[in-house]
Every structure is written in C-alpha cells, then in structure tokens.
C-alpha cells in the first residue's frame, strides 16, 4: 500500500484475521483513512491469543473471554473496519476483482468486490495421511474452536491417557498442561530429542524435567498408524479414543491425541489467482 496515495478512497478486502490480517487492517486504516476496509474471517473469532490456548485447556487461564483480544464491534468502533466472521472465501477472480464468499452462518454465497486484496490466511496444522487419522479423539490445536472441542472431549470422555504427537513448543505446552490435570501423558517424537531447534545438551535437560513430572517420552519413533479403540486389547484396558503405533514401540493407549506436528502455509487461494510461490535461494 503506497503511503503517497493515503488519501485515495478505495475498497480493501483482507482475507483472514487474527494476528496477520488484523495487523494489516489496522495499518491500512492508518495509511488510508477514507478507504473501505473489509476483513473476511473463516472462523468465529477474528482476534484472539492463540499462544494462550494450551493454558486455557490446562486451567491456568480460567476465563475463555480472557483469550479474546478484539471483537468485530471493537474493531469497528476503533478503526472503522467491516469485520465479518464465519465468512469463507472460496474463489478469487483477479481479472474482475471480486471474491466469492460463503456465509457459513446463513449457508449462502455472495460476491465481494475489491480494489486491493490482501491474503492473510496464515497456516494450517500438519495432519499426516495415516491410517486411522480421522478416528474420534484425535485433534489439532490451532484455533479457539479447536480448544473448545478438546476441552469438551476431556470433560465428557473422562480422559486418563493422552498422547502428544510432536515435541515442539505447542506439544510440550500441552503435555505440561494435561499433566497438571493428573492425566498420564506420552509425548511421541520422530527425532531423538524434543525441541528440534535447541542443542542436544539443552534438550537433555528438558527430557529430565518432563520425566520428573511423570511425562513419558517415546523418541526416535515416527507414527505409523492409529487403530480404533476396540481393535487392540492389552491387559483388558481399552482406551476411549484409539491406539497409536510409532516406530518399534508397543501400541500406546490414548483417550486423547493432540497432533503437534507443525504447520503448513495455506496456499490454495494464492495458487488459484496465479500468484507465484517464492522459493528460498541457497546462498552461493
């Protein structure tokens, strides 16, 4: 957006909210005071503290409302933004300059025109194409809606054993928070240490601390599949969710599985309207 044209009235549509989209919308308003700015967010919440989701699930953050940073109304009042939640952009016509939107509340389609379009759709959790990956009780944690589903599952299913697939920051935060609730937690990681970015010596200290709190570590074991709860029997115990198979380790019982295997960029809309993907260059 060109500051030299800050007084030019135009219609700016931003696809996606939360940190990226709302920061862009606020900046656009400062640069273009007279422009119409529309934010289309697929989810139900446009500005929330996603870094606090594990702590909400663990009970350290007791009020769900504490996670909400801004609402469509507060953004309208402060920045004069037209923020619409539950609006999923399905297609972009770059030549005619409009997007096709699905109103997920009223189940209707409509078109929204634009002068400038910004894609701030972020990323999606990695969900590997493994046998049994769609069994009940297997979740990702990316949005407030995800946290609501996990919380409801824990409350309704009497979770005793949880498996965290992936030992990155979100995975270990969830392991800590579930252990606080007296749930037996097993962390499964394909590498030989948790927290891949840190040195092995530092990771060893984290291993020790996790085990001190009763968290089991299954390292150097990539997940192979999930089996339905009733398909395997071990000493008469049947988990509420599924069995997880990783590496050469025996089947692990899980009443709850949280996938913390990283994220991938959401590129569908960008590819659809012909945007070129940037490829990192290796320094010569």
pLDDT tens-digit readout, 48-67? 999 999 999 999 999 999 99
What pLDDT score does 4 carry?
44
**Active site positions, annotated:** 51
> Do residues 112 and 139 both lie within one domain?
no
Percent of the chain with pLDDT over 70: 93
Confidence of residue 3 (pLDDT cuts 50, 70, 90): very low
The domain total for the chain is: 2
Cα–Cα distances in angstroms (integers) from residue 19 to residues 26, 112, 212, 265, in the given order? 11, 23, 35, 15
pLDDT at 253 over 50: yes
pLDDT (mean) for 240-258: 96
Give the domain CATH number at 7.
3.50.50.60
> Do residues 132 and 107 both lie within one domain?
no
The answer to whether residues 283 and 267 touch, using CB atoms and an 8 Å cutoff, is no
pLDDT (mean) for 240-263: 96
Domain with 42, as residue range(s), is 3-121
pLDDT tens-digit readout, 108-136? 999 999 999 999 999 999 999 999 999 99
* Burial state string for 182-212 with b = 16 or more CB within 10 A and e = fewer than 16: ebbbbbbbbeebbbeeeeeeebeebbeebee
The average confidence (pLDDT) of the chain is 93
d(CA 235, CA 237) in angstroms, rounded, equals: 6
pLDDT at 164 over 80: yes
pLDDT tens-digit readout, 216-247? 999 999 999 999 998 887 666 789 899 999 99
**What's the pTM?**
0.89
> Do residues 131 and 252 both lie within one domain?
yes
> Do residues 165 and 210 both lie within one domain?
yes
Residue 61 CA from chain centroid, whole number? 18
Q: Indicate whether 268 belongs to any domain.
A: no
> Do residues 73 and 111 both lie within one domain?
yes
Sign of CA pseudo-dihedral 227, 159, 139, 179: negative
Please say which residue of 121, 143, 169 terminates a domain. 121
């Amino acid at each position: 957006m060109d500051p030299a044209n800050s007084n030019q009235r135009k219609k700016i549509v931003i696809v996606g909210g939360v940190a990226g989209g709302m920061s862009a919308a606020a900046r656009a308003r400062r640069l273009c005071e007279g422009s119409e700015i529309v934010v289309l967010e697929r989810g139900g919440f446009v500005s929330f503290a996603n870094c606090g989701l594990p702590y909400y699930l663990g009970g350290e953050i007791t009020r769900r409302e504490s996670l909400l940073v801004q609402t469509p109304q507060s953004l309208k009042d402060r920045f004069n933004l037209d923020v619409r939640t539950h609006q999923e952009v399905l297609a972009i016509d770059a030549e005619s300059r409009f997007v096709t939107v699905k109103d997920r509340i009223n189940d209707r389609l409509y078109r929204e025109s634009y002068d400038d379009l910004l894609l701030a759709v972020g990323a999606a959790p990695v969900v590997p194409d493994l046998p049994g990956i769609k069994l009940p009780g297997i979740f990702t944690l990316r949005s407030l809606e995800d946290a609501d589903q996990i919380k409801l599952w824990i409350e309704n299913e009497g979770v005793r054993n949880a498996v965290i697939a992936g030992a990155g920051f979100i995975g270990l935060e969830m392991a800590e928070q579930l252990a606080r609730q007296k749930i037996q937690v097993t962390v499964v990681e394909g590498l030989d240490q948790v927290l891949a970015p840190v040195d092995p010596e530092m990771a060893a200290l984290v291993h020790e601390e996790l085990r001190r709190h009763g968290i089991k570590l299954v390292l150097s074991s990539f997940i192979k599949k999930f089996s339905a709860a009733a398909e395997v029997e071990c000493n008469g115990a049947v988990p509420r969710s599924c069995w997880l198979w990783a590496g050469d380790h025996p089947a692990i019982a899980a009443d709850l599985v949280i996938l913390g295997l990283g994220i991938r960029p959401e590129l569908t809309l960008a590819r659809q309207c012909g945007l070129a993907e940037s490829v990192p260059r290796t320094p010569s």
